[in-house]
Amino acid sequence: MKNNPNIPSCKSLFKACVIGASVLLSSMSVNAQTEINLSYTGAPNADENVLHLFATNLQRLVNEKTNGELSLKLYPNSMLGEEDERMEQVMNTPSLNIASFAGVSPQFPEIFVSAIPFMFSDFDNARNFFDKGEYWKAAQKEFFSRTNTHLLAVVEEGGFLAFTNNKRPIHSPEDFKGLRFRAMDKSQVALYEAFGASGTPIPWTEVYMALRTGVADGQMNPPMYIILGSLQEVQKYLTLANIQYSDQFLVANDALLNSLTADQRTALTDAVTEANNINRKAVESQVEDRIKFLADNGMEVYRPTAEELQAFQKISRPSFMSWLSEQEIDQKWIDLALKDAGIK
């Protein structure tokens, strides 16, 4: 039986099928969109929650820089769990998470060194510490070696921490005595105890009710978070001690980054930098407006004098250093951080 020249041979059919499949797969690859989960705390309101501002800008920038190849799916309000759960997720699944000290410290307690009280004099000092300092470079490297995840960025979340409470004005360390404070983590517990108060770790999602019901008398956060949590409704006194820089940490799963092309990874990291710069400008420009909002809504705002701030520092910094030692934090981390911050 002769082959009909008008009928393709089996070999030709097979080759055509392979080529067709390759073209289809190539087309699918070009048009495919990789969706990446990004989890964080706080409401999906960019005006009140700068973590959401960061997340939405990052979402937009990633989409623009990758022509839609990468897409971020946002999970605000701790929808994927509290700090420990979200950290476990980002360590084990291809995802992103914005973690606080409470999320990072169980894996890397040396992160507390960056929270030494009164280590930063202003925004520029704090930003240079993380952008250019040797401590942060070493921290990123060590965190990866322990968790196989990356500290991609330090996300500014509201300025500097202020004290609030519902019992009395706080003008000096002595005013803390006998008060019960909500603590974000165990480092804050140590800080309150140094002032003569007690501290109890309470998740952010439970802070409002804890203050309303008297489980805690006060807490410590930047003005942004006070507004975000409507804490002015259950707190009377605000002390702008500016004791610590308020930040959280963008954590990325290693498998996720390795799954990206070189161009996609560059686009992601560039987007992170741009979104962070937007946050920094927004945070710094809105601090005074937020303080005014709190005053207009019933809070009694107090700005300590230089002498009063010195009194807070005199007690808090040595006490915090002793606490770091108790946590068996190697002195090399402290030395690196103090040098980067310009403290002798």
pLDDT digits (tens, 9 = 90+) for 29-41: 334 689 999 999 9
User: Other C-beta atoms within 10 Å of 131: how many?
Assistant: 11
Beta strands per DSSP E along the chain: 34-39, 70-75, 96-99, 149-160, 162-165, 180-183, 198-201, 218-221, 237-239, 245-253, 300-302
Report pLDDT digits (tens) over 245-263.
999 999 999 999 999 999 9
Whether the per-residue pLDDT at 19 is higher than 60: the answer is: no
Total-model pTM: 0.84
| Residue type, position 75, single letter | Y
Q: How confident is the model at residue 26 (pLDDT cuts 50, 70, 90)?
A: very low
**Contact 272/151 with Cβ under 8 angstroms?**
no
Q: Give the integer Cα–Cα distance in Å for 304 and 309.
A: 6
DSSP 47: T
Chain centre to alpha carbon of residue 178: 31
Average pLDDT, the chain: 90
Look at the block and give the residue holding tokens 């476990």.
Answer: 88
| Residue type, position 230, single letter | S
- For residue 15, the model assigns a pLDDT of 32
Chain centre to alpha carbon of residue 40: 8
Instruction: Determine how β-strand 162-165 pairs with β-strand 218-221.
Output: antiparallel
CB under 8 Å to 57, separation ≥6 — which residues?
A: 274, 275, 278, 279
Report pLDDT digits (tens) over 277-329.
999 999 999 999 999 999 999 999 999 999 999 999 999 999 999 999 999 99
Q: Give the three-class secondary structure for 265.
A: helix
**Contact 217/180 with Cβ under 8 angstroms?**
yes
CATH topology of domain 33-341: D-Maltodextrin-Binding Protein; domain 2 (3.40.190)
Chain centre to alpha carbon of residue 7: 65
Report pLDDT digits (tens) over 116-159.
999 999 999 999 999 999 999 999 999 999 999 999 999 998 89
